[in-house]
Structure 1
Amino acid sequence: MAMRRISTRLGELDCQVVDALPDGAPPELAVILCHGFGAPATDLVPLAPELMNLRPELAQHVRFVFPGAPLTLASMGMPGARAWFHLPQEVLMGQQRNWDEYSLAVPEGLPAARRAVMGVVSALSAATKLPYGRIVLGGFSQGSMVTTDVTLRLEEAPAGLCILSGAPIAQTEWKARAANRKGLPVFQGHGRSDAVLPFQGAERLRDLLTQAGLAVEFLPFDGPHTIAPEELEKLADFLVARLPAR
């Protein structure tokens, strides 16, 4: 399988675009995956070949897009690290990891991050001629927070949402909007021993979405704040299920 990877700008974000589509074949599905806080922009790129190896149908029909977050953390001594929005110092230092309280507020910088990701969705849809209903959104950690927010706000529902080690934020807004996404397929995975974003927060997010009528497939695994092998297998199956019926 010949893998292609290009760097391009979609909307206002630099993105890595990866596919193994046969020459000249258009994608039937696009998957946008956003990295976590403090990771390099290319952090999740290796997931594309892994997913394609797990389910070869993905190599035949899917284009993967990995946007780099707009903010740099160079001033914190992390030159290659990016963020979707800044976290309060007390959260970063681990003193106030009160995620229950944090999840009620709209983080400063979320609206700008949301606009940037919406711009990627819109530019990708225009470039591939795929409607939003053929685009899956998702991400890891902070990347999944932004894409959950975008999924609940887009004018049309995307094909699905993948939440890898995520957490609820802007909870009042999410609750109010989630009902408009009734039936949306969601894949959510989370480690039971996650010390960064606690497992209880993942359960709360799952319940919020399930109660609004979204179809959530929830995979708990024994592990920390990471992407587990069994999670990748389930994610590959989830993406195959989003391909148009033949």
Structure 2
Amino acid sequence: MRRVSTRLGELDCQLVDALPEGASPTLAIVLCHGFGAPATDLVPLASELMALKPQLAGQARFVFPAAPLSLAELGMPSGRAWFHLPMEVLMGKQRDWTQYSREVPEGLPAARRAVMSVVSALSAATKLPYGRIILGGFSQGGMVTTDVALRLEERPAGLCILSGTLIAQEEWKARAAGRKELPVFQGHGEYDDILPFHAAERLYKLLKEAGLSVDFFPFDGPHTIAPEELRALADFLEARLEGR
């Protein structure tokens, strides 16, 4: 297995694959970490997913971008963020997720631009069209990649939302209408005490009603990536290898 640190577009990234020397990927998978996590938080997922589905090892390249914002001033020296959260949310004093879902977080446009620059640079470097690039992420990383997947000039190969939630509701609803049949994997813990399950259900309903092909995977757990969810995600990614 090969792991390379490089810069794609505006962001530092970790690239992981097990392709034969000189071979090019037929599918690229961009996975963005959550708020407060270190830049390399999701990198171990590449080897786990390739172990579950060896076909991925022979054809896919995983890309793990580092979020642009440092959280050192909040006491998290290695923590990164895609956009800042209101202090009342960080302190646990604001949990009106219905209200939050209607808002466009300050900093989301900049995060969107950064991830779009990664996708553009990745496409140029690998000669893969956007239709062979999957976007996804955990928690806040799932939010920003959902936003990007709904806005790219071309429909990506798929979207993976791991414990994400609904934001920018009206914008997403309007954009989702132009993404009919986009394959989506959405996993969420039923006992998530960070981003509640009912908000994930609202996101699922919005995407489903817009005509996206959503595989919704609830699991018995908190704000995490569960082993059974990872297996279901591996199945989803393997299906994308064949363009299904």
TM-score relative to the length of structure 1: 0.98
- Provide the residue aligned with 2:228 in structure 1: 230
* SS state at 1:143 partner: helix
Q: CA RMSD in A?
A: 0.9
Q: For residues 225 and 245 of structure 1, what CA distance do their matches in structure 2 show?
A: 30
C-alpha displacement at 1:99, in angstroms? 1.0
- Provide the residue aligned with 2:39 in structure 1: 41
C-alpha displacement at 1:24, in angstroms? 1.1
Q: Which letter does structure 2 place at the counterpart of 1:15? A: C
Q: For residues 197 and 178 of structure 1, what CA distance do their matches in structure 2 show?
A: 21
Q: Which letter does structure 1 place at the counterpart of 2:90? A: L
Q: For residues 202 and 30 of structure 2, what CA distance do their matches in structure 1 show?
A: 24
Q: For residues 53 and 175 of structure 2, what CA distance do their matches in structure 1 show?
A: 33
Q: For residues 20 and 116 of structure 2, what CA distance do their matches in structure 1 show?
A: 28
* SS state at 1:180 partner: coil
- Provide the residue aligned with 2:159 in structure 1: 161
C-alpha deviations, 1:111-151, integer Å up to 9, x for none?
Answer: 00000000000000000000000000000000000000000
- Given that 1:5 and 1:17 are in contact with CA atoms closer than 8 Å, whether structure 2 keeps it comes out as yes
C-alpha deviations, 1:178-228, integer Å up to 9, x for none?
Answer: 010000000000000000000001000000000000000000000000000
- Given that 2:157 and 2:243 are in contact with CA atoms closer than 8 Å, whether structure 1 keeps it comes out as no
- Provide the residue aligned with 1:13 in structure 2: 11
- Provide the residue aligned with 1:244 in structure 2: 242
2:188 aligned to which of 165, 187, 190: 190
1:201-240 mapped onto 2 (5 Å cutoff) = 201-240=199-238
- Provide the residue aligned with 2:170 in structure 1: 172
- Given that 1:28 and 1:244 are in contact with CA atoms closer than 8 Å, whether structure 2 keeps it comes out as no
The structure-2 alpha-carbon separation of the partners of 1:83 and 1:245, relative to structure 1 and needing over 3 Å to count, comes to closer
- Provide the residue aligned with 2:124 in structure 1: 126
Q: For residues 245 and 100 of structure 1, what CA distance do their matches in structure 2 show?
A: 35
C-alpha deviations, 1:7-36, integer Å up to 9, x for none?
Answer: 000001000000000111100000000000
C-alpha deviations, 1:30-56, integer Å up to 9, x for none?
Answer: 000000000000000000000000000
Q: For residues 243 and 106 of structure 2, what CA distance do their matches in structure 1 show?
A: 41
1:80 and 2:78 aligned: yes
- Provide the residue aligned with 1:181 in structure 2: 179
Q: For residues 205 and 107 of structure 1, what CA distance do their matches in structure 2 show?
A: 16
Structure 1 stretches of 4+ with a deviation exceeding 6 A read: none
C-alpha displacement at 1:98, in angstroms? 1.0
Where in structure 2 are there 5+ consecutive unaligned residues? none
- Provide the residue aligned with 2:133 in structure 1: 135
- Provide the residue aligned with 1:91 in structure 2: 89
The share of aligned pairs that are identical, in percent, is 77
* SS state at 2:31 partner: strand
C-alpha displacement at 1:245, in angstroms? 5.8
- Given that 1:30 and 1:135 are in contact with CA atoms closer than 8 Å, whether structure 2 keeps it comes out as yes
C-alpha displacement at 1:97, in angstroms? 1.2
The structure-2 alpha-carbon separation of the partners of 1:105 and 1:23, relative to structure 1 and needing over 3 Å to count, comes to same
